Amino acid sequence: MSYASYPCPICHQVMVIIGIDKNGKKIASCGHAFKFKKSRSEKELDRKYVKTADGGLELIVKEK
């Protein structure tokens, strides 16, 4: 398993993500926890597709 090292968005020290808390915040090796809003493409994907039970995506069909 490889770990990506990049600067912490809070203290700017080089860190790795070591876990996720119960609220969905990522916990960094420097001790900070943070969560970013969804990007525009992630929001668009959520509007157009729904996740299926087998892990795939299904297009939402709007009825006229």
Judge contact between 29 and 19, C-beta under 8 A. no
Q: What is the pLDDT of residue 37?
A: 87
Model pLDDT for residues 6-17, shown as the tens digit of each residue = 898 889 999 998
CA–CA–CA angle 25, 6, 55 (5° rounding) = 50
What is the residue extent of each domain of the chain? 6-59
Please give the model's pTM, rounded to 2 decimal places: 0.52
Q: What does pLDDT average to over the chain?
A: 86
